[in-house]
Amino acid sequence: MTAAEAVLSTDDVLPIGELAQRTGVTTRTLRYWEELGLIRPSGHRGGGERLYLPADMARVTRIRDLQELLGFSLAEVRVVLDTPDADALDRVRSEYRWGDASPAERRRLLVEAAEANDQLLARLDDTLARISAFRDEQAAKSRRLAELFDELDGTDDAPNDRRGPEEGTKR
């Protein structure tokens, strides 16, 4: 019995309401995303109720990240999710020993996946750079405001309890 065949605790299989609550999206959104082909419940119950596994939960948060952090439309998210990642290729390789794919085909799949991956990575770096520039600009404004504050404090009589932005994830 490998780790992949471990028994599922009942805590790991979630109905849609539970998944919704834990991921912070509504059930309507989950069904809508399913309609668009973004997610699919790992199983169903007799009456047709959707059942989700932790892997599905990870997918949901990933979709939200792509949407909110990167500003992707759901169509763009679909493309990103559709390109197989290392996990998927790993699964294919181990379970079926690459099935009936020719060596050239395997290579093509890998190259394709790697290129899509690097493309997303490049976009992430670009976005990071732009936001970082924006941040620096904003930090400069903060400093200028602090200067004005000092200037005022010099002629003021009130106690100065103003603190600068000393926190934050550095760099």
Partner DNA sequence: ACGGTTGCTTACGTTGACGTACGCGTTAAC
Partner DNA sequence: GTTAACGCGTACGTCAACGTAAGCAACCGT
Stretch that binds a copy of itself, among 2-10, 14-22, 39-47, 85-93 (CB under 8 A): 85-93
Q: What is the smallest separation between the CB atom of 11 and a copy of itself, expressed in angstroms?
A: 25
CB atoms under 10 Å from CB of 74, counted, come to 15
* Distance from C-alpha of 77 to C-alpha of 59, rounded to nearest angstrom: 11
The helix (H) or strand (E) run that includes residue 43 is strand 43-44
Q: Which of residues 15-44 bind a copy of itself (CB under 8 A)?
A: none
Q: Which of residues 51-80 bind a copy of itself (CB under 8 A)?
A: 65, 68-71
Largest CA distance in the chain: 82
**What's the token pair of residue 96?**
């079926």
Q: Judged by CB under 8 A, which of 90, 99, 101, 102 binds a copy of itself?
A: 90
* Distance from C-alpha of 61 to C-alpha of 146, rounded to nearest angstrom: 38
11/100 with CB nearer a copy of itself: 100
Stretch that binds DNA, among 44-52, 80-88, 123-131, 143-151 (CB under 7 A): 44-52
**What's the token pair of residue 66?**
């792509």
* Distance from C-alpha of 51 to C-alpha of 151, rounded to nearest angstrom: 62
Residues with Cβ within 8 Å of residue 54, at least 6 apart in sequence: 12
Q: Judged by CB under 7 A, which of 73, 94, 119, 160 binds DNA?
A: 73
Is the CB of residue 110 less than 8 Å from the CB of residue 118?
A: no
# chain residues binding DNA, by CB under 7 A: 20
Instruction: Report DSSP state, residue 68.
Output: H
Q: What does the binding site for a copy of itself look like in residue numbers (CB under 8 A)?
A: 65, 68-71, 85-86, 89-90, 93, 103-104, 106-107, 110-111, 113-114, 117-118, 120-122, 124-132, 134-135, 138-139, 141-142, 144-149, 152, 155-158, 162, 165, 167-169, 171
Binding site for DNA (CB under 7 A): 15-18, 26-29, 31-32, 45-50, 67, 73-75
